[in-house]
Each structure stands twice: as structure tokens, then as C-alpha cells.
Structure 1
Amino acid sequence: MIKSSLLTLFTFTVFFLYFPSVSAQNDVFQQLEEIAVVEEKVMMPMRDGVRLATDIYRPKTDKKVPIIFSRTPYNFATWQDGEQKTRTAAQALEAVKRGYAYVVQNERGRYFSEGEWDILGVPLTDGYDAFSWMKDQSWSNGKIGTLGCSSTAEWQMAVGALDHPSHAAMVPQAYGAGVGTVGDFQEQGNWYRGGVEQLLFFSWLYGVEHDKFKPRIPEGATQEDLIRISRFYDLAPENPPVDMAEALKHLPIQDMLKNMHGKKEIFDKMVRRKPNDPAWFEGGLYHDTMDLKVPGFWFVSWYDVSVGPNIALFNHLRKNSENKDDQYLVIAPTLHCAFTRATENTVVGELSVGDARLNYEEQIYSWFDLWLKGEKNDFKEKTPRVQYFTMGSNEWQAAETWPPAKAKMTTYYLNSNGNANVPGNGTLSSKKPGNQSPADSFTYDPMNPVPSLGGNVCCTGNAVQGGAFDQQEQEKREDILVYTTEPLKEGVEVSGFIETTLYVSSDVKDTDFTIKLIDVHPDGKAFNLNETIQRVRYREGYDKELFMEEGQVYELKLSPMSTSNYFKKGHSIRIEISSSNFPRFARNLNTGGNNFDEKEGVIANNKVHHSGKHASFIKLPMVKK
């Protein structure tokens, strides 16, 4: 087990949290043995001779059955006193009861699987070869559905684009780590946002990557040997505890893993890749140039790190896929991979969003029954195209498209008397500013960045706690600009993508600009909804770097934010603008250099302009109630 501050978040990702808990089924493995044929450590061969460790649970029947397949980099075989104690067994039991074989497999180079592991670089042929092997088994009906969350979902899209005839349906959840470029997003598997490194992988790799000197099973080990030794050795490393809140402060960022004494070879390659590096297009990432035809039931969370590109992928498939009518979407008000942690009083950060439960299991199996068993069920008649939870009104809603058809883009202009870093001075209104409206300025010191407070995050250990938190105290900082509407005279729903255009200037060659969307309550509490960032050098695309000149004003379009929130009567809509949100995002050291190999920064004097000529604004998709 991992003994670090990453444990809780890794637990969310390791196990797909939509099935009954193991603690409620202490005899789960005994039940499996009664109704299932259990085959452990089946070494599935790939085309290059590498064998991948696979556990198979299938019903005791002479009939051919469909398969639910989960491939993962995580450990799914922890043993204690001879009894399997992971949620894998609970998932397998549920699948077998419903007439499915459940197959779980480790990626190459992970635990008992042979070969060398490379995040997002595992051959796509491994997935294709696994499908071919499974369809040819005597007990298989040839139909395979893929299922998983986070890193157990990220491989599904690119492999799905290979169009294996047996890949009949997919259920990817929190799958942004597998999305390279789609629509307005070029995040390369969540490594970037707006050209800025998201530090989640800096901590995640420390916690999960196995050392190159790890114990290895001798080539040719038999299945019997592997089953026996797996009772004694699960090959999971015990990583020394790391305080990620401190570790992520290290500069230069290219030495972070080295400073943690972690394995760094994969990290060393990735940290030097710029957003448009050809290497991003050679591994396991899905890009919107690929043709993906597999019917998909997609699951996304409002407070997840990748909500924007996740929804953009769904929209891309709804527009371009040959099977555009076989794509469905669920958006929950939860953190990363925490779908079934919703309760009748779901709290995300400090904010209660009420009863956010949904019948996930029923819908997922109805989906698989349709595509893997060929049942003529009522999934398509009963299931809305898009099911989304609206915070504020705290209700599940349905739509045929995203954003909902009734959402109308409404422009709000930034304005102030030139002093928006004093709360209350900056305003958002439909009125365009006058020609003489003064710019707002602030000083950004990369050695004193704005600390991340809540947000849409994953996998940063104790460095950032995700969710909604009251931003009032933080807004008193002089390096945060605050713009707020008047209290609303009637409630309004904001559901869709939020677009931001800022006119900015600086006295340095390069810097970043951040934004947060906030719901301000009548008592002054200010809860964050979403956030984004943009590195100015990439303002005209990620295939070139354009540096700033002092005195010049530049148009900056930030990558879109996404949410569904009902701003009640008396509430206000607010945005915060700054140049850092750390350690959610890496700091720009403002030098114009590589940034990843630098440890000394310079102070930037930054400005946001809002005049008739340079009218900064946001566009909100508003649905009036």
C-alpha cells in the first residue's frame, strides 16, 4: 500500500466507486467461488510476446457470455489470509450475477504483467490484442464492453478508435487523462491547461511508478507459480511519505521527482515536452483527428480536473462520430471518480449540493445489456442524452445537447475605477466600458503565488483539497482582481462553457493569467465553481511562442470553463483574475525561458484592460428560470 498523502485520492482512482463496498460483503470471494469460474494470473499474450497478468471471473454456465473488461495500471490483487480484499471481487461478483464475465488486467510493466510501463505510451495494440484473445475464448459471445475510471478509463478512447469488431460499448469515467487534443482543449492528457503544467502528474507519478530495480518474475513463470507467489508478494511498492504541499514548491520543476527521491525517467521525458510536441501524438492519447465509433456512456464530474475536455469530447462525437446517436453523458457534482460517494447530503469541499445520488449501477448495466447481450431494453427511451446536476438549485436535469438548447450566451464586461483588487470596486455588467476606463494592475511575484483554495482537481495529495471553498479571505490579496455583478433580481441558471477574453499587458516577456467563476451568496460567502489559466506566449496557438513587449496590449482568450449552477435571487456572479493558482498549476517565472529548467523568477507588473477599445469580457451560457 502507498504510505503517503496521496493515498486517499489514489484510492478513488484505483477502484471504480460505483459498486457495493467490500466491507458490506466480507464473504464476497466465497460467493464468487459458488457462482463463478475464477481464473487468476492468466498470462494473456500480446503480439510481441509480452504477457499481461489477467484475472477472469465468469459464470458457471455452458452458454457463451459477454465480457466486461477493465485494464488498469493499479494493483487489483491484494491478499490477506488467503482471501481477496479488493473491490475488484465485488465488481466481479455483480457482473457474474448479471450474466457477464468480468476480466481485469494489468497494463504491461505493472505488477505481474511483463514488459516495460510507460504512461500514455503503452502500445495501443495491447488493447486490440486483448480484445482478440477474449473474443476467441470458448466461453465468450464475442461482445466486449470496457469500464473504468481515471487511468482505468484513459486508454479506452484511443484503443476504441482502432475499431476492433468485438469492442461493442464503453463506459469511460473521469477519462481526461486519455484526451490529448479536442476542440478548444490541448491538454495532452491533463498535463497542460492553457499551456501551463498541471502539477497533478508530478505527485501522481511519485506515488504509482515502480522502480526500474523492482523485483521481477522470471520469464516463463507458470500460472500455478504466479498464483502461489501472489499470495505472498503483491509487488506494490511502499513509497516513503511525502508532504506534497512542500514538495511541489521545488524549483526547477524538472527536478521535482528527483527531489522526492522518486523514479523519474518517464517524468524526465514528459516535463520537457511542450504542448505541441510530436511525442504527445505517438502514444496512447486520443485526439479528435481519430475516428471513434464505439457507443459510449460517458461520466464526468463538475469538480474534476478534466471536466472541460471531457465534455468537449462528448460533443465532438455527437457531431462527428459515425455512431453519434449512441453517445450519452452524465455530469455529477462530485470530485474525481467519486460518483457513488454522492449522498442525500453531498458535500463538495465546504459546500452542500443536496441530494446528488443517481442510479449509476442500474443505468450502466442497462447500457451493457443493450450492446453486449443484444437485449431490446428501454435504455434509449428512458435515458436522457445528457443528465447533468445543477448546483444551487441542487437538482438533476436532462437535455438533448450540451449546453442545453435554451442556454443563451450573455456577455458581461469587466469594469472598475482602476482598483479592482479592492473587493467591491470591480464590476461585471452588460454595459460596455467607456473609452477612458482605467486598467487594473497588480504585481505577480512567482515566489509568492496565489495559493490554490479548492477547485477542480485530482491527485495532488495534501497540496490541494478539491471542491468549493469560501474565497473571501483570499480575495483580500492585492494580486487578485475581483469583478462582481449587482445582486441578481431574479435567479438564473448558468449551464455550459464559459468563454473569457481579456486584454492584457505586462512589463515581462511572458506571464500567465488565471480566472475563477464564483457564486457569491447574500451573506458574502464566495464559492468557486470552475477555474482556468492561460500562458500568454501561447495566445495564438500551441505551435508557436510569441513573447510580449512592454506597453503593448494583447488579446488573450482563455480556455473555456464549464459548469451548471443556479445563481439564486440575491446572489451575485463573480470572477477573480490573477496570474497564479498554485500548486494547482505550475508557476510562470516570467522570464520567457523554458520555465521547467529555471529556479529564479522575476516579478511581473500585469494589467487587465477594460476600455472601449480593449473591453475585457466573459460570456455566460444563461438559462433563465
Structure 2
Amino acid sequence: MNKFSRISICLFLFFGLSMAYSQDSVLDELNEIAIIDQKVMMPMRDGVRLATDIYRPKGNQKVPIIFSRTPYNFNSWGDGEQRTRTAARALEAVKRGYAYVVQNERGRYFSEGEWDILGVPLTDGYDAFSWMTDQNWSNGKIGLLGCSSTAEWQMAVAALDHPSLGAMVPQAFGAGVGRVGDFYEQGNWYRGGAEQMLFFAWLYGVEHDKFKPRIPAGATQEDLIRISRFYDLAPENPSVDMSEALRHLPIQDFTKNIAGKKEIFDKMVRRKPNDKAWFEGGLYHDDMEINIPGFWFASWYDVSISPNLALYNHVRKTAKDASVRDNQYLVIAPTLHCAYTRATENTIVGERSVGDARLNYEEQIYAWFDLWLKGETNNFKEEIPKVQYYTMGINKWNSSDTWPPEKAQMTTYYLHSGGKANSLYGDGQLSPDMPGDAASDTFVYDPMNPVPSYGGNVCCTGNAVRGGAFDQQGMETRNDILVYTSDILDKGIEVSGFIESTLYLSSDVKDTDLTIKLIDVYPDGRAYNLDETIQRVRYREGYDKEVFMESGNVYRVDLTPMSTSNYFEKGHRIRIEVSSSNFPRFARNLNTGGNNFDEKEGVVATNTIHHSREYPSQISLPVISD
């Protein structure tokens, strides 16, 4: 069993190295082997200086650089998991012959300037690359590494094509994806034109106030190191019950209602999915060319799994250099957001066990960097598949040369019922047979009593939503959820890839949402959610225009694709839920046809899903046959 493909039993947690070491022991070991240069104020082209810590091997050798830029606190003084994690990453990098450089985005902590979420100049990244390249300890090669907000900026800056940027490892990077193909998420702010409320909660927790203490311009490195021991500049906002706070209407007053900072939120909450402002900041859009090798990490229960996978495919297809197109690799883990290395021998995601999901992430990542930043000859490309993906249900790592796997064949299941698919106790069916005569199911959607989010592909919402797989049976007793279930499977099937769905809708309101959820039903009735999506109906014809409904008409609605890899065992059933809300995972549509963000009162909608030969509502699954 080779060192790249085996499961690492003594896994060094890439994000959780702090579990193995105390902060003091890590810093003590770093001091023995590293030159540590903290609070280096790296100048940008406009004169703004960004606070940077540098850890590099002792001696005079020139070394490659692993660079992380982050909005989060990495001050090494005092307690804190993030700080210990930073020191542990630096220690591992230095041991392996790299310099580790970590920097705060402009306007964050000791960095100068004003912060705007992914709106800071792209030139900051380019200027940082140039500065590092010019250091006498640099070999001129830089690799990018980070998860979530430490990864999201990587793609847009990579598209600037700096000559020193040799490779990147973006992990859980979805909030940096603006538009890719059919996805107009604009940094996870939207899904299908409906607001994802995770950033409402996230901004409250992380944003610094405009009246925060500021270090005087021109402070010396010596002064900054001394000050950082006493003044951490880390805000600690009062605790908020997000399960209650996210219910506030109008949603534009969310931060005002909880006494949070408003400026950035106020701008974003008013932007429509195709607003030009989304294209002026730090988001990556698919007209920007990435032409460096990438080792991408995603996870099945992350908020942006489908656009993440779409971006991976986009780069494999569009990079101008054929060798770069061929050097894009992907890992898809069965975990929550940024929780790759928290997998154990019995990994529980929500309530569902997905087995031993461990992988030797660190060995693979450093083999990747050794290849591109040191020029070492190793077996990475021979031993590591283009795509490593974990299949839940059979609970094993699989591999493929493409995503979806080439063997996946789209298999369509149609919605059927006798007109009473409401709830788990209704007569909704999923069948490969085309429906016949006209049939439909009707439910009432009241935005003041939305379907609660229960588990799912989410992060960062505080106590409002727990991510992962949870038994949906209790939810499915609601009459505003249509439930369609297949026959009992007489043999197991693997579903791996993008899941496409089309629903035919009529309504008595101008605008509403459609939601869908894919579920694995166990023989004992447990119903575990796999993925979910939503579509705001006014955007069914594109995000550059709003087209409202008229009563009596039937409209085709194609929902944004879902994604999973799940083995439905023999004796299980495949199920989908259809409704018009999944709150507070997504903001409620108030059904008025108005702005939604500035409205306090909703309209009750009577929504009908049609399924007939003329209106074949359906879901298409990528099935891999044995």
C-alpha cells in the first residue's frame, strides 16, 4: 500500500494539529527550527500595509512559500484555537522545508485599510506575491493553502496569472465563486436567486466595527509585536439566538435588529443576483481564466458543493495550457464545511454514520506542493486519481478520472400521485415510468409558517441550523411538503454526480420559491437528507431579468443541480421532498413579487405541482450500475 493512497491511521490533522500539541509546545519547537518574523507590514501599491507573519527554516537556503491570507485572527499571543492552528501549520511547513506566510486581509486586525468581504483589491494578492518573490530567502515559487474564507480569495487572484504562483489548494471555497455556468451564487449569497442566510449570521459574528481601535499609521514592527501581546483587536459580539434573529422582517433590518454592524450587509442585501457590484470585487467569475495547477477540496454537506464541483470542471475544461487542464485534482469528503480532517473511524455527519472516512490529506497536500514548488520527482500524478470521492451508504473512498464518473448514466424518475402527495402519509411516488393523464398536487405555502431547515448542506448559521444528515420523517408530516418515494429497490444502486430536477408549477401568486430535497429512505423508515436546492420562480428564465407568473398558467422551473455520492442499498427507497421553503437555510419568499428584502408582510400562496405527459415533473439521477 503506497504512501499516497493508504488511509493514514496516525493522521496529522491539517486543521486540527492543535489537538496534538499545546500552543506553547508548538511555539517552542518552532523557535528551535524556524526564523520567526511577526507583524511584518507588507506594503501594497496604494501604500496600505498588511500584517504578515513569516515562519521559515533556519539557514541561508532559498525555500518555496506556502501562503495563507485570511480575515481571521492568527495573533500567536494568548489562547485560541485559530492561533494554535496557525502555529501548527507553520511548524509542519517548516519541517518540510517551506516558509509559511500568513497574512490578514486589509482592514482586519493589524492590517491597515478598510475591509470589505471579498471586495478588497485583487491587486493585494498580486502585490503580496511580488513582495514574497523578492525576498532573499524565497526560491520564487508560491503555493496557496486555506479553507473557507482563507481559500475563497484564491481563485480570482489566481486568474491574475502571477508568474510566481505555482499551485493552489483551495478548500471549501464556495463563497469565492460568483458565477460559474448555471450557478449565480455570488459568493454563496444566493442559491437559485434566493438568499442563503448563512452570511447574515456570519457577518454579525466576524465584522469589525468602523469605530474599532486603530494602530497609528507608520507603527514600527517592534511596536506592533509589543502591542499585539496586550491588544488583540479581536471583537467579541454579544451572543445572539440566530434561530430567532433570522426570523426578523424585513430582512434588510436583520443586523440593525440585533445591534450589529450594518454597512457591508446593507449593500449586499439589496443586490440582485446579476448586480454589477458582484463583478467588481474579489469574487471569481467564469470569464476569468485560471491557469495554474489546482488541488481542490469539497465536501458533501458543505453549503456550496454543486458550484464547487462545477468550478473544478470549468477549470479542467478552460485552462489555456493543456498541462494545466490535466493537473486539476479533486477530493470530495462526506463531511461538513471545512471538517475534512475531523473524520474518524466512525464518522457521524448529523445523525448518520458514514463509516471510516479518514484520508491522508496532509501527505497528499505536501506531495502536491513538493511537485510544483520544489520540482521534486514523486509519484503524486501516478498514484493520486484525478477525483477521490467518498460514497456514503457503502462508506468507502472511490476514484474516477472525471466528475461525474464516466460510468454514471442519467436515469429519470417521474413524479406520480393520485393528487394527494402531501406529507409522508400521502400517495406520492417516484417512478421511471412516464406519467399519463393530467395529475397534480397542491399545497399551501404560508411564509409566516415556513418549512423549517432540518440538517442539510449548510454552515455558519449559529444555532439556527445544524448541518448534516438527519431523519426527515418528522418534517414530512407537514401538509406543505409533497413527498414522492420510489418502490423498494430490489438491488442497490450508486448515485454519483449532479442531480437535475424539473418541476411544472402553477400558482395564485406572482412569485414564489420551489425547493427540493433528495433523501435515502432506510427499511425502518429513517429518511436521511443528501442534498437540497431552491429556485426563486421569478428568475426561472435567467438572473438578468424578473418574469412573474400569471394565475392559471403552468410554468417549467429547472432547479439548480444538487450533488451527492450515495449508495442506495437493496431494500432502501429513493425519495424527494418538494415544497416552497427551507428556512432559515434560505430566506423566505414573501410571494408578493416585490423586493422581498424590504417587506414585512407576506402573501399565502396556493402552489400546484403538475405531473403528466404534458407536464412531466422529474428528477434525473446519475446512476452507476454494478
Displacement of 1:435 in angstroms is 2.0
Alpha-carbon distance change, 456 to 400 in structure 1, aligned in 2, over 3 angstroms: same
Q: Which of 139, 142, 156 is matched with 1:141 structurally?
A: 139
Displacement of 1:86 in angstroms is 2.0
How do 1:321-470 and structure 2 match up within 5 A? Answer: 321=319, 322=321, 323-423=324-424, 424-436=426-438, 438-470=439-471
Displacement of 1:23 in angstroms is 4.0
Matched, 1:622 2:623: yes
Contact 1:349 1:467 in 2 (8 A): yes
Displacement of 1:591 in angstroms is 0.1
How many angstroms apart in 2 are the aligned matches of 1:389 and 1:83?
A: 28
Q: Is 342-351 or 73-82 further displaced after alignment?
A: 73-82
How many angstroms apart in 2 are the aligned matches of 1:474 and 1:231?
A: 50
Contact 1:82 1:231 in 2 (8 A): no
1:585 match: 586
How do 1:198-277 and structure 2 match up within 5 A? Answer: 198-277=196-275
1:319 match: 317
The residue matched to 1:86 in structure 2 has which SS? helix
1:558 match: 559
How many angstroms apart in 1 are the aligned matches of 2:61 and 2:36?
A: 16
Matched, 1:105 2:107: no
Displacement of 1:279 in angstroms is 0.5
The residue matched to 2:130 in structure 1 has which SS? helix
The residue matched to 1:127 in structure 2 has which SS? helix
1:173 match: 171
How many angstroms apart in 1 are the aligned matches of 2:18 and 2:291?
A: 31
- 1:529-564 Cα offsets, whole Å, 9 max, x none, are 000000000000000000000010000000000000
Unaligned runs of 5+ in 1: 1-14
How many angstroms apart in 2 are the aligned matches of 1:606 and 1:230?
A: 57
Contact 2:141 2:165 in 1 (8 A): yes
How many angstroms apart in 2 are the aligned matches of 1:142 and 1:428?
A: 57
Alpha-carbon distance change, 24 to 83 in structure 1, aligned in 2, over 3 angstroms: closer
TM-score of the aligned structures, taking structure 2 as reference length: 0.96
Displacement of 1:18 in angstroms is 5.5
How many angstroms apart in 1 are the aligned matches of 2:20 and 2:260?
A: 31
How do 1:79-90 and structure 2 match up within 5 A? Answer: 79-80=77-78, 86-90=84-88
Alpha-carbon distance change, 229 to 574 in structure 1, aligned in 2, over 3 angstroms: same
How many angstroms apart in 2 are the aligned matches of 1:614 and 1:340?
A: 45
How many angstroms apart in 2 are the aligned matches of 1:243 and 1:179?
A: 29
Q: Which of 42, 51, 54 is matched with 2:52 structurally?
A: 54
How many angstroms apart in 1 are the aligned matches of 2:219 and 2:432?
A: 70
The residue matched to 1:261 in structure 2 has which SS? coil
Amino acid at match of 1:230: S
Amino acid at match of 2:490: K
Displacement of 1:16 in angstroms is 6.3
2:597 match: 596
Q: Which of 143, 152, 155 is matched with 2:153 structurally?
A: 155
2:6 match: none
How many angstroms apart in 2 are the aligned matches of 1:45 and 1:25?
A: 29
How do 1:521-540 and structure 2 match up within 5 A? Answer: 521-540=522-541
How do 1:184-203 and structure 2 match up within 5 A? Answer: 184-203=182-201
4+ residue segments displaced more than 3 Å: 22-26, 81-85
Displacement of 1:19 in angstroms is 3.7
Amino acid at match of 1:260: I
The residue matched to 1:204 in structure 2 has which SS? helix
The residue matched to 1:172 in structure 2 has which SS? strand
Contact 2:73 2:82 in 1 (8 A): no
Contact 2:75 2:232 in 1 (8 A): yes
- 1:318-377 Cα offsets, whole Å, 9 max, x none, are 111121101000000000000000001000000000000000000000000000000011
Contact 2:16 2:85 in 1 (8 A): no
- 1:419-445 Cα offsets, whole Å, 9 max, x none, are 001425100001111123x21000000
Total equivalences in the alignment: 610
Displacement of 1:184 in angstroms is 1.6
Q: Is 147-156 or 414-423 further displaced after alignment?
A: 414-423
The residue matched to 1:80 in structure 2 has which SS? coil
Contact 1:300 1:332 in 2 (8 A): yes
Matched, 1:498 2:499: yes
How many angstroms apart in 2 are the aligned matches of 1:16 and 1:511?
A: 43
How many angstroms apart in 2 are the aligned matches of 1:156 and 1:44?
A: 18
Contact 2:469 2:530 in 1 (8 A): yes
How many angstroms apart in 1 are the aligned matches of 2:354 and 2:59?
A: 45
- 1:548-594 Cα offsets, whole Å, 9 max, x none, are 00010000000000000000000000000000000000000000000
Q: Which of 269, 276, 279 is matched with 1:278 structurally?
A: 276
- 1:429-473 Cα offsets, whole Å, 9 max, x none, are 01111123x210000000000000000001000000000000001
Amino acid at match of 1:535: R
Displacement of 1:25 in angstroms is 6.2
Q: RMSD over aligned Cα, in angstroms?
A: 1.3
- 1:153-194 Cα offsets, whole Å, 9 max, x none, are 000000000000001000000000100001121100000000
How many angstroms apart in 1 are the aligned matches of 2:625 and 2:82?
A: 52
Q: Which of 111, 114, 122 is matched with 2:112 structurally?
A: 114
How many angstroms apart in 2 are the aligned matches of 1:480 and 1:82?
A: 43
Contact 2:73 2:109 in 1 (8 A): yes
TM-score of the aligned structures, taking structure 1 as reference length: 0.96
Amino acid at match of 2:330: L
The residue matched to 1:298 in structure 2 has which SS? strand
How many angstroms apart in 2 are the aligned matches of 1:244 and 1:83?
A: 23
How many angstroms apart in 2 are the aligned matches of 1:82 and 1:41?
A: 18
1:125 match: 123
2:75 match: 77
Amino acid at match of 1:144: I
2:10 match: none
Amino acid at match of 1:221: A
1:548 match: 549
Alpha-carbon distance change, 460 to 84 in structure 1, aligned in 2, over 3 angstroms: closer
Amino acid at match of 1:498: I
Contact 1:505 1:606 in 2 (8 A): yes
1:299 match: 297
How many angstroms apart in 2 are the aligned matches of 1:582 and 1:269?
A: 22
The residue matched to 2:218 in structure 1 has which SS? coil
Contact 2:200 2:254 in 1 (8 A): yes
- 1:46-98 Cα offsets, whole Å, 9 max, x none, are 00000000000000021100000000000000423999952111100000000
How many angstroms apart in 1 are the aligned matches of 2:611 and 2:79?
A: 67
- 1:206-246 Cα offsets, whole Å, 9 max, x none, are 00000000000000100000000000011001100100000
Amino acid at match of 2:348: V
Contact 2:255 2:265 in 1 (8 A): yes
Displacement of 1:20 in angstroms is 5.1
Alpha-carbon distance change, 18 to 388 in structure 1, aligned in 2, over 3 angstroms: farther
